[in-house]
Amino acid sequence: MRPSLSFRIIQHTTGYLFAILSLYPVFLMVSSSFKTTLEIFKEPLALPKKLSFAAYEKLLDQLPFGTYLWNSVFVSVISVVIILISCSLAAYYIARTSFKWNGALMFIFLLGMMIPIKLGIVPMFLLMRDLNLTNSPWSLIAIYSAMGIPLGVMILSGFFRTLPKELEEAAKIDGCTDMQILRRIILPLMRPALGTVMIINFVTAWNDFFFPLIFIQSELKKTIPVGMMSLFGEYASDWSTLFAGLTLASLPMIVMFIIASRQFMDGMTAGAVK
């Protein structure tokens, strides 16, 4: 009952062709970082003639890359934790209770996805200043958490609905409170959905450059993407350094993803749909 051989050849060819297409630009970025600018320009498709780490040494010497990295990790991790906690609570409420305002509540959350959020930048800036958060990583954490909530609530509440009601009814009879039900019964079953929300928001927070550009002034509080943007100005003509910078900026995310890919992927595939 297995598909025919020719069909399977087509399947594999298509699958791997698209994988090459997906990976090629990343490969180009890494391989170009070892070339000289002239090599990139004159022989764009060739492999680097020799592995030179000069560009990397130069960058690590000049940029506080470790600081950028730490700031990015700090901001992304805290935002994701806030999103996970607050969204689980809210999604549990929306999905597992039947108050008449639940529909409206859900809609209010969804509105956040439909607004060009940059519009609010000036009021946001004023707000951050009055909360004394400008030039602080907490301004980024606040905004990334708030930005991640709509999608988080949407995905988690969709997923909460798929769980059988009997589970918590039994728990209630045993005297569990709502918080205990959520923590001990629902959340452990929800790991995949939480994984989905986690990766999406982690990537968003990690790669954003607009808000740090506006909110953060001191060099030592910048995140990786902003630090990287100044590279474009400084090394516009020095492509090997630029490529090394881009590789350095992208690498932590790629490494983290590959290490955790099994967990992430299972989380995503099991959790993305109600």
Partner 1 sequence: MADKPKRLQRNRWSIHLFPIPALAIYLLFIIYPICAAFSYSLYDWKGIKKLEFIGFQNFKNLFTLEPFNTMFWNALEHNVIYFVVQMVVQNGIAFLLAYLVFQKIKGSGFLKVAYFLPRLLSVIVVGFLWKLILNPTYGTINVLLDKLGLDSWTMPWLGDPSTALISIILVNSWFGVGLSLLIFLAGLQSIPTEVVEASRLDGVRGFRMIRTIILPLMIQPIIMVTVLTFIQSFEAFELIYAMQGSMGEPYYSTDTMAVFFYRTAFGGSSSDSVAIGLGSALAVVMFAIIAIISAAFLALTRKVNQE
Partner 2 sequence: MKRVYSLGTVVLLSTSLVVSGCGSNNKANESSPSNSATPSASSSASNGSGEKVKLTMGSWRTDDKAVYEKVFAEFNKQYPNIEIDFSPTKSTEYNTVLNTALQTGEGPDIIHLRPYAAGIGLGDSGFIEPINGLPGLEVFPADVMAASTGKDGNVYGVPMALNTVGIMYNKKIFKDNNLEVPKTWDELLKVSQSLKDNKIIPFGFGAKDGWILSMTQGAIGPAGYGGNEFVDKLLKGEKKFTDEEYVQSLQLMKDLVPYFPDKFTGIGYEDMRTFFATEQAAMYVLGDFDVGVIQTMNPALELGVFPIPSKVAGASPTVSTYVDGSYAVNAASKHKEEAKKFLEFATSKEFGNLFANEMKRVSPIPGVTATDPVIAQFAELANTASTPYLMVTNFNSGNPTTKVTLENSMQALYLNNMDAKKVAEELQKNVDTWFKP
Residues 64-103 that bind partner 2 (CB under 8 A): 89
We find the least distance from the C-beta atom of residue 84 to partner 2, in angstroms, to be: 15
> Which one among 69, 102, 191, 234 touches partner 2, defined by CB under 8 A?
234
- Per residue in 68-81, is it b (16+ CB within 10 Å) or e — as a string? bbebbbebbebbbe
CB of 110 to partner 2, least distance (A): 21
| Residues ≥6 apart with Cβ < 8 Å to 93 | 102, 105
- Kindly tell me the sign of the dihedral angle through the C-alpha atoms of 28, 227, 254, 211: negative
Other CB atoms closer than 10 Å to residue 18's CB: what's the count? 10
Nearest approach in angstroms of CB 133 to partner 1 is 10
Query: Interaction with partner 2 in 121-160: which residues (CB under 8 A)?
Result: 121-122, 125-127, 129-132, 134-135
- The pair of three-digit structure tokens given for residue 66, joined into one six-digit string: 């470790």
Of partner 2, partner 1, none, which one does residue 132 interact with (CB within 5 to 8 Å by kind)?
A: partner 2
Computed from CA positions of residues 142, 263, 271, 182, in that sequence, does the dihedral angle turn out positive or negative?
A: negative
Which of partner 1, partner 2, none lies near 156, with the C-beta cut-off 5 to 8 A by kind? none
Q: Is 39 in the site for partner 2 (CB under 8 A)?
A: no
Q: Answer for the pair 198, 78: CB distance below 8 angstroms, yes or no.
A: no
Residues near partner 2, by CB under 8 A: 37-38, 41-42, 89, 121-122, 125-127, 129-132, 134-135, 177, 179-180, 213-214, 217-219, 229-230, 232-234, 236-238
